[in-house]
Structure formats: structure tokens, C-alpha cells
Structure 1
Amino acid sequence: MTTSELTRRTAEDMLGGEPDNATLRRFLHGLPGVDAVGLEQRSAALGTRSIKTTSKAWALDTIVRLIDLTTLEGADTPGKVRSLVAKAMNPDAADPTTPLVAAVCVYGDMVPYAVEALGARHGDPDHGGVSVAAVATAFPSGRSSMAIKLADTREAVAAGADEIDMVIDRGAFLSGNYALVFEQIVRVKEACRREDGSYASLKVILETGELNTYDNIKRASWLAILAGGDFIKTSTGKVAPAATLPVTLLMLEVVRDWYRLTGEKIGVKPAGGIRTSKDAIKYLVLVAETVGEDWLQPHLFRFGASSLLNDVLLQRQKLRTGHYSGPDYVTID
């Protein structure tokens, strides 16, 4: 049985029928509505805790290990990607104890340069390597034909991408064409198949800033998981608002509920706008309090960021040298 066949069977069991528009609408619109006030109050409360001195070093190192170091600009060059990879492999030249980041995230045509630059370091971030993630499916708009989206994905995987960050068709979702979005995710996941039969990990970008309501974000999260996404990701980083604490908390709650139903662990990736250690640690708290600290590892949680690493390294240096005067942090008990 192929991955897509297994996904469809799992979805049919969950939905009680074929994943067509009528069945998906009945399921997604039958989900409990989101208590927006409660969600925002809980995320705000989790972001106001203080942190023990003994926990600061652990928290900072954990953030580094969970970063997808990203460059997604039209002016990206092979040289810029090589510089990004050099930073990923040696985040702090003054401190060899600094962990490696989880991955470098680039456009598909930059994948070969990232793979080449990583060399022997290219590998599973849960075991000391650095992955290559590629955005695909006409990122960031998603406005192209299915054939182009699939070719985009296959090319990146063939070039050595370990992870594919796809964007959903927000127009189709917002118009209620859930079956089309489901089918596209299933087919992109199948396009992640390598020659040896293994699959690149698939992160499904919801672009939550364009989904308008918490209820839509909840439905899109469930839809992405039903269709076989390995991760659900907030944003491309090209649309405001990008990642926020309430939205990430909501997505973590969906992941928690899916795990309770099926025993399967799905990853979450907030991306865009997370620039400081103080902010990043708030996200660690959301994870620990919602799905548990087991999720604080690269195959289950990531930060999509381009500048966050610099601030984390600064805070690590201050802590190491005894001249720490950073902001109050939040606790992870």
C-alpha cells in the first residue's frame, strides 16, 4: 500500500466516508468552535512566566536545535546559501559547544548548493546532522497548476531535499473546496517519495494570516493532517501576521487531539516574526504545556527564522561569560 493509499484509508475511517467536499465539510464544520477569548488569554498567560537561571542555558540550546535557518529571497545566490550553511554548521565560532541548527531552508533551485556545502554534516537533525528543507508548490502564493507543483516538489527531493515546505491553495480552502486542498496535499506527499522508497518530510504551510478566523485555522490544520502532512506550519513569512502565540497554541491543540485519537505525532512549525530569545522561549512553553516536552525535538517542532539565531547566540554568550543582562524569560518547569 502506498503512502497516499494509506492516507486516504485513514481519512475515510476518520471521516466516515470518501474525502469529498460534502464529507470534509461535514467533518470540518462539525469541529467545536474556537473560544477566541480563552485561546488568547491562555497563550498570554503562558507568556508571562519567569525562568530559573538553571533553565536558561537549556532553553537557549533547545531553541538553536529547533531552528530552520532560512533564506527565501529573490536575490539568493549560491554564495549566500553557502554562507547560510556555514552558519548552520558552526553557529558560534567562539563556542564549539553551540548546538547545530535543525535545517537550512531554501528555494528548490538552491538545494544542490546547500547539500554540497553541508557535505558530511547533511543528515538527520535528531542525530547530529543538518537537514535541507526546500519550499515548493509555487511558494509563497501557491498559484500554479498541479503539474508544476508536483514537478517543483520532485525536483527538490531529487536534488537532496530532506523536507518539503508546501503551501496550500488558500483560495480553494476559503471557497470551501476542501477536497481540492486535500487532494493536492496527498499528491504532493506522494511526490516526496525518493527512489529508495523513503519519503521527504512534508510540512504543510497554512498561511494563517490569510485564513481570517481561528475556526478556519483549526479546520485547515485538521485538513492538512488528514491529508498526510508530517508538520503543520503557520506561515510563509511573506504575509502579516505570520506566527503568533494564539495561532500556534491552537495548532498544537489540534496536534494533541490527533495524537489522542490516533497515537500519531505530528510536528508544528511557527514561522515568521520570531526574532528574539524571549519570544522563542514563550513558544517552548506552549509546546511543553500543550503536547509535552517530548515534542521539543527537531522531528516534531521547528522555528522558521532568519534572524532569531543571532539573538540566541548573543544571550548564550552573555550567560557563558557571566555578563548576562537579557530580558525576563518564561519558565519551562
Structure 2
Amino acid sequence: MARQLGINGPSERSAQASTQWPTARQLLLAAGIGDPRLAHVETLPEAVVAAAGIGYPVLLRPAVNLGYHGQVCVLDRSGLQTAWAAASQAAREVPGRPGGIVVEPYHPGSRISLQTMTTDGRSTVVAAVHTSVGTFPPLVPQRHTVGPEPVEPELAALATQAMAAIGAADGAGHVDVVLTPSGPEVVDIAATVPSARLTELVRLATGIDLVLAAVTIAAGHRALLTPAHTRSACEELVHAETVGRLERRQIDLTAVEADWFVAWAWEQPLGTDVAPPPAHSSLLARCTVTGPTLQACRANARHAREALAVTIAPQAPAGR
């Protein structure tokens, strides 16, 4: 579409890699990036065989790239059927796309999403988003943080190599890595603008507007990618811990009045039936804060989380 409109944008190859994880993995492996152990399967029996061959723990995820949605870690054979059901349900939510589930090694470690901007096939890392994942075994983000520290050269080089491998041409993108004991492992990649929430975190922390930069590149101009300031920004994600109906929600206004507080957004209206992850109704609220350092920003996020009060009323058993 970008070519038809005469504007700069992602290549066809990078667009396919952004939506289909098996395609991205093949392109990355061809460039010497990533763990070669993976299987694209269609049935639970095939997943059982694949997991045994790869070795536990394994990660199940929809072949269509849905970010963290539908990603489930499996520690041993006993958890495979439940994980298969969760990953398959997520895959069915995207009709018209090639189906199937990818089985691959699970890589524990710190998670970083390297935000990139690409012009004429040359990518630059402009920010790093640190993601804390909880609610194991489903991989559910709990917090996103952008800090003032420069990206390590090794990670920046890996990100630019990965974007080149999928054929990124022009525009925004991201390369997600896990810092494992044996080195960084690429666990996701896309030649797309990140979500509005992550875009705002990068802007708050660096002053760089990723959407504006992508539009500037699309128009054939050079984007300004020099940070205007250096501080930290954090988004705290609050999930339901029990099953029930959301009856009360409030926040201590003294937290809202703090100079580090940016925004709070409720995700579920009162009266909604909620449940812990991976249920769609698990996310109750989002809070965005800032701070001079990563540590200070995370502390502010904890203060904001403590200012939240919710009441979830247990649901009565059916038939009563």
C-alpha cells in the first residue's frame, strides 16, 4: 500500500514478518539470529511431540503475531494441554489469518523492547522499553519502563541486524529481546509503530515522538531522533487477582497531585465480570508516572499502585 501511495514505508517482506512469527523466525535464522529449535504445529499431539524434542520449558504462542497475548510457558508435559487451549483461543480471535501454534524454547530473563527507526534500510535504536512480566505461566506484562541510560552497543547492533534480516525499509519498528545467561535472544520483532502507550512512554522519557518520526520518514524527510531530555517514564498495569464482579474502584487523590504523576486510566467499568490473566477482563487500570531514574520511576509506580483501591465481589455459584 505504501508503494501504491508513493510514500516510504515497510517492505512487503517486513510486513509479512511483522504479522507472522514463523516467517520472522525463518528470516532471523537465515541471518544467524535466534535459537533454531522451533516447530509450527496444528494439533495438540503435534505440540506434545515438538515439546519433547525441544525440551522443557517451552513457550506456546499463536503463529499470528499478537504480542504477549496468547503466549504461555509450559514447564512440563502436565501443563501442555492447558497452555494449548489458551494459545489456540488467542489464535482463533484473529479470523482470516493463517493459524497454528509455534512451540519454541522458553527463555527466562529480563525483557527489553528496542524501539527503532529505519530510513533507506538503515535502522537506529532510539529507546529501550524494559518490560516486567508476571502471572506465570501466561506471559502478562505488569510494567513498562523507559530509562535515561543509553542502549548497550551489543543490543543496538543486534537490533539493527535483526531489522535488516526482515527487510525493514522505512519507518518505526521494535526488536524484543530477553537477556539470557548465554546472551540476548530475540523473542519478537515488527516493522510497525508501537502502541500509543509505549509511544507516549518514549516521548515522556526522551522527547522523541515515534509517530511523528515515522510520518516524517514516510514523507521523505529526515526525522529528528536526538533526545530532547533524559528521564524515566513508567506504565504500571493493574490486573484482577480474583474472579468476580468489579464493585468499587477509586484512587487516593494525593497520588494524583504528585509532580511525577502523569495519567491514570480505568480499563473496566463498574459491574464488569473480571478474572485474572489470561482473561481479557483481567486488566483493571493503567497508570503512567515519571522519575529522574529508573529506580525512582519504579518507586513512583509502586506508590501509584498502592493508591488504588478496588473491590471485586465473588460470584455466586450457578443455579443459586
Report the TM-score range of the alignment, normalised by the length of the smaller protein.
under 0.3
Normalized against structure 2, the TM-score is what? 0.24
Normalized against structure 1, the TM-score is what? 0.23
**Bigger helix fraction:** 1
Considering only CA atoms, is the larger Rg found in Structure 1 or Structure 2?
2
